[in-house]
Structure 1
Amino acid sequence: MLTRLPYTLLWILALPLVVLRLLWRGRRQPGYLKHLGERFGRYRMRAPVRVIWVHAVSVGETRAAEPLVRALLKRWPEHTVLLTHMTPTGRETSKALFNGDSRVLRCYLPYDLSCFAGAFLRHFRPQFGVIMETELWPNLLAACRRRSVPVILANARLSERSARRYARLPALSALTMGALSAIGAQTAADAARLSALGARRVMVTGNIKFDISPPENTKALASLFRARIGSRQVLLAASTRDGEEALLLDAFARLAPPEILLALVPRHPQRFDEVARLAAARGLALQRRSEDQPVAAQTRVWLGDSMGEMFAYYASADVALIGGSWLPFGGQNLIEACAVGTPVVVGPHTFNFAAVAEQAIATGAALRIETADAGVNAALELLKEARRRGDMAEAGLRFAAADRGATARTLELLEGVALRAPAAR
C-alpha cells in the first residue's frame, strides 16, 4: 500500500481535472458524457452469475480481443464475457463486433482508485480477468489480488520507450507486474522487457491480431465500395492521426494525378469534420462514405467516416498507407491490410508494432518510407506497377497466415489460471 500511496494521492488530486477533461472531450464526442457513473464504479446493469472480465481500452485492443472473446465463449459456455473500455469508440466497436450476442456485455472500467475498483469487483464478481496489451492499473490489480481474482495480461507488448517509462518507478512497476497471475507476450523481446520490470510467469504466446479474420460481410462491402468508386485506382490512408492528414493531403494534392482517389480514414471519429475541412482548404473535392453515393469523377478524397469497416476499406484499396507511422505515434496494426492482400507502405514510426512491421517488410509485404511526402510518392509509383503490387499482395497473404495460433496459446495459459480461480462469489 505504501508503494502505491504517492500514485493514489496523485490520482485523488488529478481527479477533478480528469472529470473536466472528460466533459471537454464530451463536447466533441458526446459518447464521453454517457454512462458517467460507470467511471466511478456505479453500474445499473444486473451482473450475471458467472463472469469472465476482458479489458480492452479502445478500438485497437477491442478488435484484437475479438478472437479471444469468441474462444472464451466457446470454452466456458455457461459464462458471460464482460468487456470493459475507456473510450466510447472502443465500446461502439465491441457492439459492432458482437452485435446481438447476449453473452457479451460492455461497460466502462472505473478510474484507478481503490474505492472505484472495489465497487466494480463487488458488482460483477468476475471469476478471472484478462487485460489486453499494456493497460495496467496498480490499484485495480491490487484490488483483484485482495479478492483472489486472477488477472492475466494477454497479447502483451512493451516497447523500449514504454519500458524506460515504467523503469523510472521500479517499486510501483514491480508491484503492479507482480499482481498479474500470468502474461502472454507477443514476442520474446516484449517478454524480456516485462520480466525485467518484475513480471512473473511470462510466456511468449504470439500476436492475437494474426488470428483476426475479416468479417463475413467484408467481400460484399468491399464490392459495394468498388461499385461506388468505379474503375479508379484507390490509395488508402488508414487510421491516420492528428497532424498526419495535413502532410498526406499536401503530398497527394501535389503529386497525384486527378484519376487517383484518396480514401482517407481517420483513426478517431470525432475528427471526421476536421479532416474534411483540411481537404477543402487544399481545394480537394471530397465525398463522405456516410453519404452512400457513387463517387463523382471530380472527387479527389473519399472520407471514410464510418466505424467497423476497415477490412472493407483495405480490401477495396490498391495500396495502403498506414497511419500513426508518419508522425511519432507508434504506428497502427498492418496485419489487416496484409490479410486481404493489400500492399502496405509504412512510415518511420512503428515502435508500437515494431516486430510486426519488421516482419512484414522482411517478407516483402510492406515498404518503409521515411517521410509522408516520400510515402505518398512511393505509393503512387506502386499504383503504376501491377506485377509488383501482386507480389506484395501474395507476400502479405503468406505473412498474415504464417503466425496464427496466438489465441489458442493464450487460452491454454488462461485455463491454468481459471483452474486456480475460486468460484463466483
Structure 2
Amino acid sequence: MTVWYRLLIRLLTPLVFIYLWLRGAKAPAYRKRWSERLALHDFPPQARDGIVIHCVSVGETVAARGLIESVLRTYPHLSVTLTSMTPTAAEMALKLFGDRVFHSYLPIDTPAAMQRFVSKLSPRLLIVLETEIWPCLLEQCQLRNIPVLVVNARMSERSAKGYQKYAWLLGPIWQSVDFIAAQTKGSAERFASLQVPANKLAVRGNLKHDFQVSDDLRQQSQSWRDELNRPVLVAASTHEGEDVQILEAFSLVLEPHPTALLIIVPRHPERFDAVARLIEQKQFNFVRRSAEQAIQAAHQVFLADSMGELLLWYAVADAAFVGGSLIERGGHNPLEPIATQTPVISGPHVFNFDEIYQRLKAVNGVQIVTDARTLAAVWNEWLRDPKKTAEYAKRAFDEFANDQGATEAILKDIKRFLPLTHGTENVRTMSMIKTTKPNNNTEIWYDPSVLEGCTTKHFEANFWRSQNKIKGSATGRSTAFFIDVGEHGLLLRHYYRGGLVGKFNKDRFKREPISSSRAMAEFSLLLKLRELKLPVPRPVAARFVKAPIWGYRADILVEVIPGAQDLFKLLLQRPLVASEWQQVGNTIRELHCAGVYHSDLNCHNIMLDDSSKCWIVDFDKCGFRAEGEWREANLRRLLRSFNKELTKAKETNQAFHFDETRDWPLLVEAYS
C-alpha cells in the first residue's frame, strides 16, 4: 500500500457517506448502521478470535453458502463473522444463517478504521470471496499475522489490466495475500500475471458448481408451476436500461402466447419502485411479490421485489434471461439457472463471466441476444418448441455436471491455515465466554465452566479475605492474591502502571475499546494460547471499569499453576540443572514458533512446576506477530533480566545462582 492510497482513501471517505445518503433516498437501509462503516461500533466479545468471511454483496453471500455451512460445522468452537458492503447482503446473511453468525459491514478502507476493525475482532483467519481485497485491511492482517485467503477468486482480463495500471497506487496487494483459490485456469493465469507466487495460487473451481437444488425448492417450484399452469419467463438481475428492452420483448411474446407470464427480478432493491412505475407506463397488468397477492390469470407481469428467492423463480420458469448483459455491466453468473435446469439467454456483454459463457457457447448451451427483438424471437421459439428448449438446458447442465468439488477443496485449504485442534471438547474459546454488565461503567467476561456466575466482588481482595480464602500473595510492581476456590485456586491481579507514569498515575489506562483493553485482551489471548496447547495459565475472568472523568481500570483472574515457582525465586534458592535450562529454551521456542510475542519476557514471568515443566505467565500487552527480529529481542530482554537480578543480588550480598557463561548457552542451544 502506498502513501498516495492512504491519502486518497481519506479524501474519498466523505464522498462515500454522501453516496450512502443519496442512495438511501431509494433504499433507506443505506442510511443506517453508519458507525460500522468506520468500525466505531462494538462487537460482542463472543465474536472475537474467530473467523471473518467477507462477501461483498448478495451474489457472493449466496455463492458462499455451502462453504460457510461447512466452516460452521468444521469449527463449531469458533465464532464466524460475515461482513458485506450492502444492506441486501446483510439481509441475506440473516436469512441464510440467522444467529449462527455475527454480521457487520466491512469498514471503509482507511488505516484507522481497519485498525479498529481488526483490533476489535482479532480474527484467526480472513476469508474473502472473489476479489474484494483492500490494502489497509490486508496491512492490518499482516501486522497481526492473520492469514488472508481469497477464495472462489475470479480475475477478468479487464480487471487484471486495471490492477496492473494502478499498481503504483495500490501497491503489491495480490502478492501479499496468503493464498488464492481461483475459479478457473484463466483466472489463475491472470493472478500469476499480477506476480502472485505459484505456491500461493491454485485452481479450485467455482463454489456455485457445488450448489444443490433442495427437494423443498423443487417441490415449491412445482407447486407454483401447477398453480400457474401457463408459460413462464424470468428476467433476472436486471439493471437500468434493460427493463425497457425486456418489457418490449415480452410485449412481442404476448402476441403468439397471450397467457405467458413474465417474472422480472431487478438486481437492486432500490430499483423495485422504479421498475414498477415502468411496468405501469407500459400498461401491463402486474402484481408485486411484496403485495402477497395471488397471481391471477389476468396478470401479465410478476415483479419479484423480494430478496433470496431468485433460485425459486429460475426453477419456476420455462426460460431465463440473465441480466446485466444487454448493457455493458458484464453480466451475472448463469450457474444458478443451469442448476435448476432452466435454459439460459444472455445479452452480449458477459466479460465478468467470459469463461463460463465460452464453455456454454461451445456446447450450444446458451442463446446470445442483442436487443428486444432478438430476445423476443428466442423466447417465442423456445415456447413453441419445449423439446428444443429442454435440449439447451440439458447441454448446459451436462457441461458443468462434473465441476463440483470446490467447497471440499477450499475447506482443505482453510484447514491448512487454521488447523483443527485435537481434543476440541476441552477447548474454551471466546464464543463460549459469558459477559455481564453490573452497571454502565463495568463489563465482566468469565468462563462459565469455572465460575457459575461472576460479579464485581470476585475482583476485590476484601471479598475473598472475608471468606478466609486468600492463601498468599505475590509481590512485584503490585500485589497479586492467591485464592483458594477449588483444586487449583485462582490468582487475582489488578493492572498497575509502571515506570515514571506509575508514580503519579497508579492504575488508570487511556480509554480504548473494551475488547482491546488490558485485561480483556490478555484474557482472550490466553484462551487462544491454551487452545494451541501452549503452557500458559487458564483465564477465568476479566473486568473493565470505566474510571471517573478519564481512563479505565482493569483486573484479571487466572487459574494458579500448581507447584510452580518463577525462575527468580528458584535462582535465589539454587542453580538450575541443565535439563531445566533446556526446558526453558524449548518452551520459549514453542511460544515463538506459534508467533507469540511476549512484551516482557523476564525471569519473573517464566515458571517451573514440581515436575520441571516450564510455564510462561503475564501476557499483558502481548500478541501474535509475523516473523521478525522481535524473537531475538525477546531473548536479549530475558538475558538482561537475569543479569539485572544478579547485579542486584551482589549489591545486597545475596545469592543468585545464575552464570551467563554456564547457563545461558544451555537455554540458547535448546531454543535453537
Q: TM-score, normalised by structure 2?
A: 0.60
Contact 2:43 2:121 (8 Å CA) reproduced: no
Instruction: Give the CA deviation at 1:22.
Output: 0.9
Instruction: Give the CA deviation at 1:37.
Output: 0.7
Contact 2:230 2:260 (8 Å CA) reproduced: yes
Once the two structures are superposed, the pairs formed by residues 385-424 of structure 1 within 5 Å of their partners are 385-419=385-419
Aligned to 2:132: 135
Letter in 2 for 1:313: W
Letter in 2 for 1:66: R
Letter in 2 for 1:321: F
Structure 2 residue 359 is matched with structure 1 residue 359: yes
Q: After alignment, is 195-204 or 253-262 more displaced?
A: 253-262
Q: 1:95 to 1:376 in 2, by over 3 A?
A: farther
Aligned to 2:51: 52
Aligned to 2:210: 211
Instruction: Give the CA deviation at 1:405.
Output: 0.5
Instruction: Give the CA deviation at 1:422.
Output: 5.9
Instruction: Give the CA deviation at 1:302.
Output: 0.8
Structure 2 residue 144 is matched with structure 1 residue 147: yes
Structure 2 residue 152 is matched with structure 1 residue 180: no
Aligned to 2:79: 80
Aligned to 1:221: 220
Q: After alignment, is 411-420 or 260-269 more displaced?
A: 411-420
Letter in 2 for 1:219: R
Letter in 2 for 1:157: R
Letter in 2 for 1:353: F
Aligned to 1:32: 30
Q: 1:173 to 1:45 in 2, by over 3 A?
A: closer
For 2:400 and 2:96, the matched residues in 1 are separated by 21
Q: After alignment, is 315-324 or 246-255 more displaced?
A: 246-255
CA deviation string 1:309-342 (max 9, x = no partner): 1111011100001111111111111111111111
Identity of aligned pairs, percent? Answer: 36
Which SS does the other structure have where 2:297 is aligned? coil
Instruction: Give the CA deviation at 1:14.
Output: 1.4
Aligned to 1:190: 187
Letter in 1 for 2:354: A
Instruction: Give the CA deviation at 1:225.
Output: 2.9
Which SS does the other structure have where 2:418 is aligned? helix
CA deviation string 1:108-138 (max 9, x = no partner): 0000011110111111111011110011211
Letter in 2 for 1:318: D
- Which residue of 163, 167, 170 corresponds with 2:167? 170
Which SS does the other structure have where 1:402 is aligned? coil
Letter in 2 for 1:147: R
For 1:406 and 1:21, the matched residues in 2 are separated by 36
Contact 1:127 1:421 (8 Å CA) reproduced: no
Which SS does the other structure have where 2:327 is aligned? coil
Aligned to 2:307: 307
Q: After alignment, is 363-372 or 175-184 more displaced?
A: 363-372
For 1:358 and 1:265, the matched residues in 2 are separated by 25
Aligned to 2:319: 319
Q: 1:64 to 1:422 in 2, by over 3 A?
A: farther
Letter in 1 for 2:141: C
Instruction: Give the CA deviation at 1:219.
Output: 2.3
Letter in 1 for 2:405: G
Instruction: Give the CA deviation at 1:409.
Output: 1.4
For 2:171 and 2:40, the matched residues in 1 are separated by 30
Q: 1:193 to 1:178 in 2, by over 3 A?
A: same
Structure 2 residue 287 is matched with structure 1 residue 290: no
Which SS does the other structure have where 2:25 is aligned? helix
For 2:396 and 2:173, the matched residues in 1 are separated by 37
Which protein is richer in helix relative to its size?
A: 1
Which SS does the other structure have where 1:283 is aligned? coil
Instruction: Give the CA deviation at 1:94.
Output: 1.1
For 1:225 and 1:243, the matched residues in 2 are separated by 29
Bigger-Rg structure (1/2): 2
Contact 2:50 2:79 (8 Å CA) reproduced: yes
Instruction: Give the CA deviation at 1:198.
Output: 2.2
Aligned to 1:341: 341
Q: Give ranges in structure 1 of 5+ residues lacking alignment.
A: none
For 2:595 and 2:91, the matched residues in 1 are separated by 32
For 1:278 and 1:421, the matched residues in 2 are separated by 60
Contact 2:253 2:379 (8 Å CA) reproduced: no
Structure with greater contact order relative to length (CA < 8 Å, sep ≥ 6):
1
Q: Give ranges in structure 2 of 5+ residues lacking alignment.
A: 420-592, 597-622, 625-672
Instruction: Give the CA deviation at 1:215.
Output: 4.7
Letter in 1 for 2:149: I
Which SS does the other structure have where 1:98 is aligned? helix
For 1:404 and 1:88, the matched residues in 2 are separated by 30
For 2:361 and 2:181, the matched residues in 1 are separated by 25
Aligned to 1:66: 65
Q: What is the Cα-based RMSD across aligned positions, in Å?
A: 1.9
Aligned to 1:276: 276
Instruction: Give the CA deviation at 1:142.
Output: 0.9
Contact 1:248 1:373 (8 Å CA) reproduced: no
Instruction: Give the CA deviation at 1:9.
Output: 0.8
For 1:325 and 1:55, the matched residues in 2 are separated by 26
Q: After alignment, is 262-271 or 392-401 more displaced?
A: 392-401
CA deviation string 1:43-88 (max 9, x = no partner): 3331324411100000111111111111111222211211000000
Aligned to 2:89: 90
Instruction: Give the CA deviation at 1:255.
Output: 4.1
Aligned to 1:161: 158
Instruction: Give the CA deviation at 1:290.
Output: 2.3
For 1:299 and 1:239, the matched residues in 2 are separated by 21
Q: 1:262 to 1:190 in 2, by over 3 A?
A: same
Q: After alignment, is 110-119 or 285-294 more displaced?
A: 285-294
Q: After alignment, is 362-371 or 350-359 more displaced?
A: 362-371
Contact 2:265 2:305 (8 Å CA) reproduced: yes
